[in-house]
Amino acid sequence: MKGLQAINLDEIIKQPNLTKQFSFNIDPTEIKELTGYINPSSPIRLDLSIRFADDIFYVTGELTGVLELECSRCMETVAYETNYPIAERYSLKTQKDEDIIILSKSKLQVEEILRESLEFAMPVKVLCKESCLGLCPHCGCNLNLSTCQCLKDQIDPRLAILKDLLKE
Length of the chain: 168
Which one, 57 or 73, has the nearer CB to Zn ion? Answer: 73
Dump the DSSP string for the chain.
Answer: ---PPPEEHHHHHTSTT--EEEEEEE-HHHHHHHHSS-EESS-EEEEEEEEEETTEEEEEEEEEEEEEEE-TTT--EEEEEEEEEEEEEEESS--SSTTSEEPSSSEE-HHHHHHHHHHHHS-S---SSTT---B-TTT--BTTT---SHHHH---HHHHHHHHHHH-
Nearer to Zn ion, 73 or 113 (CB): 73
Beta carbon of residue 142, minimum distance to Zn ion (angstroms, whole number): 8
- 75 vs 102, which CB is nearer to Zn ion? 75
Complex with Zn ion: residue 145 or 165, whichever CB lies closer = 145
Give the distance, in angstroms, between the CA of residue 162 and the centroid of all CA atoms in the same chain. 49
State the nearest-atom distance from the C-beta of 134 to Zn ion, in Å: 6
User: Per-residue string for binding with Zn ion, 127-166, x by CB under 5 A?
Assistant: -x---x---x-xx--------x-x----------------
- Per CB under 5 A, 122 contacts Zn ion: no
> Candidates 45-53, 82-90, 91-99, 124-132 — which segment interacts with Zn ion by CB under 5 A?
124-132
Residues 47-86: x where in contact with Zn ion by CB under 5 A, - otherwise, as a string? ------------------------x-xx------------
CB nearer to Zn ion: pick between 101 and 132: 132
CA proximity to 73, closest of 148, 126, 138? 126
Instruction: State the residues that interact with Zn ion by CB under 5 A.
Output: 71, 73-74, 128, 132, 136, 138-139, 148, 150
